Structure formats: structure tokens, C-alpha cells
Amino acid sequence: MVEITGTTQLICLLGSPVTHSVSPAMHNMAFSLLGLDYAYLAFEVGETQLAEAVKGLKLLNARGWNLTMPNKTKMCELVDELSPASQLMEAVNTVVSEDGVLKGYTTDGSGYMRMLREYGVDVIHKKMVLGGAGGAARAIAIQAALDGVAEIVIFNRSLDKAVKIADDINRHTGCIASAYSIADTAQLSKALESAALFTNATQIGMAPRSGQSVIEDKSLLHPGLVVSDIVYNPRETKLLKMAEEQGCKTVGGLGMLLWQGADAFKLWTGHEMPVYDVQNKYFK
């Protein structure tokens, strides 16, 4: 347990809903292991209350906070500085207060890319195929492009959202991006043939619809392909089961959750999170 004293600084999560979040447990365990004088709490705060909550946190000299649904976009308007990745992603999931100056970052994409490195998956200068164009997919695609992935092919149900991400990547990074409808199985098959990584960043496969997979034809998954699913409920999605049957290396969604937290922890404290202790306790 974190020992709370008169000098303990607050770090928190602002979102709705937040009661299911593993972030308080993960960060408080890490503060306690490293003897850091912070405490992490979760607060139920929606978009309309966000500005007022931020004003209160500044007044209380909170060290920083995380944002989850529905606050990641709105927070961009409330910070004093945005990291280059946050500017491109149009989202903030981590705020650091430096003597009242609010700096906004996004660790969803950096956490995902860090997780790939930690798990020995190398996509730099290679091609990745991404399912989805929501908030998480946008963060992953933009960070992957900034980190040096050579080509990203995005498939989504709403084509306009995928096209916007591809346009932003092509305009602002050296990566080549393209976008297709997720119903275009011929293009999906072609894109996967020469890809190093397929990432599912749609909600498909998430409980209670865990019987579904974003890729229905498992023959599209070749053994040289790494298959990653950011859905973490269930731990092993139908997509990951199919990929394993095809001989692919697979990566589950808990890793992204863990490493986005570790990146935020470093921004607030300057210390590496004791990730493997946290993983053993909360992510098994």
C-alpha cells in the first residue's frame, strides 16, 4: 500500500466509466515498490465536467492525470502544450503538470510500440496491416509511422475514418499509408501477403461478442505474420486462436494496457515502472 502523508501528490484517472480500471492498482503498486510519494485515484468525470475538474486539479497541485473515454479529445483544448504525437493524434491520455503548466501526451501508441519491442516484434522499416480506425487504431498507426514503420494499410468499416488517418500519415510522416473498407477481402488478402504484422484495433472479438473475428478466413494468416489483438477481454481472442493454429506468433491486448501505463508512469515520475512485478500481480 502507498503510505499517504502530508506531502503525497495526487495522480488520477478522469473518465466515465472508470470503476473497472486497473490503472489505480497498477500505479499504486509501482509507487509503493519504488517508494515514490504519489497516490493514484480514479474519478468519474464526463466531457462536460472535464474543464472544471482540470481547474480543480491545478489548484490542488496534482502531478498529472490520465484520460480515458470520453475525454481524450476534449483534453487537447485544455493543456498548455501538446506533444507532437498528441497533436497528430488529436488526443491526450496523459497530462503532466509542471508547476501548473499542463503538458499533454499520448501513451497509447508509444505503449503499443514499446510493447512490440519488449516482445521481440520488429516492424520498423516493414509493412503493417491495421484493422480499425477508432481512437486506439489512430494512436497506433500514427506512432508506428513516427517510429519508422515503412507502410501501413488500414482497413475499417467506416472508410472515411481510415482515409483520414492515412492522409494524416502521408502528409506528416515518411511512412506510406493507404485505406480500404474492411469488407474488401481481396485487398486484405493482398496486403497481408507481404506484411510483418497484423493488428486488430477494432472492437470485433471483444466480450460479449467473443465468437467473432475481424479476419474470418484463417488461410489469410501466414506463419511469417505476427498477429496482435488489442482487445484484452477475452485474453485470447478468436483471432489469436486462429493465428496460433496457422503457426503465427501472437500478441494479446494486455501488453498495450501495461506499457501505455508504464510510459505515463515515466512521464510523471522520471522512473521506469517495475513492469514485470505489476504484470505478475495484475495481468496474469
Q: Which residues are designated catalytic?
A: 72
Residue 4 carries which side chain, given as an amino acid letter? I
Q: What gap in Å lies between CA 82 and CA 91, rounded to an integer?
A: 9
Indicate whether 64 belongs to the interface with ligand NAP (CB under 6 A). Answer: no
Q: Using alpha carbons, select from 9, 81, 3, 73 the residue that is nearest to residue 269.
A: 9
β-pair partners for 64: 11, 96
Q: Which region among 23-31, 53-61, 184-192, 199-207 touches ligand NAP (by CB under 6 A)?
A: 199-207
- Going by the DSSP 8-state scheme, the letter that residue 111 receives in this structure is H
Q: What gap in Å lies between CA 201 and CA 243, rounded to an integer?
A: 16
- Going by the DSSP 8-state scheme, the letter that residue 196 receives in this structure is S
Q: Of 134 and 148, which has the nearer Cβ to ligand NAP?
A: 134
**Sheet hosting strand 101-105, strand order edge to edge:** 38-44, 9-15, 64-67, 94-98, 101-105, 81-82
Q: What gap in Å lies between CA 194 and CA 73, rounded to an integer?
A: 34
Indicate whether 256 belongs to the interface with ligand NAP (CB under 6 A). Answer: yes
Give the count of residues interacting with ligand NAP (CB under 6 A): 24
Indicate whether 74 belongs to the interface with ligand NAP (CB under 6 A). Answer: no
Kind and range of the H or E run holding 141: helix 135-147
Indicate whether 155 belongs to the interface with ligand NAP (CB under 6 A). Answer: no
Indicate whether 262 belongs to the interface with ligand NAP (CB under 6 A). Answer: no
Q: Of 62 and 179, which has the nearer Cβ to ligand NAP?
A: 179
Site residues (CB under 6 A) for ligand NAP, limited to 223-252: 230-232
Q: Of 36 and 206, which has the nearer Cβ to ligand NAP?
A: 206
Q: Which region among 59-67, 126-134, 142-150, 272-280 touches ligand NAP (by CB under 6 A)?
A: 126-134
- Minimum CB separation of residue 157 from ligand NAP in Å reads 3
Indicate whether 18 belongs to the interface with ligand NAP (CB under 6 A). Answer: no
CA angle 36, 70, 139 (to 5 degrees): 75
Q: What gap in Å lies between CA 65 and CA 215, rounded to an integer?
A: 36
Indicate whether 206 belongs to the interface with ligand NAP (CB under 6 A). Answer: yes
Residues of the shown chain interacting with ligand NAP in the complex, contacts defined by CB under 6 A: 108, 132-137, 156-158, 161, 182, 201-204, 206, 230-232, 253, 256-257, 260
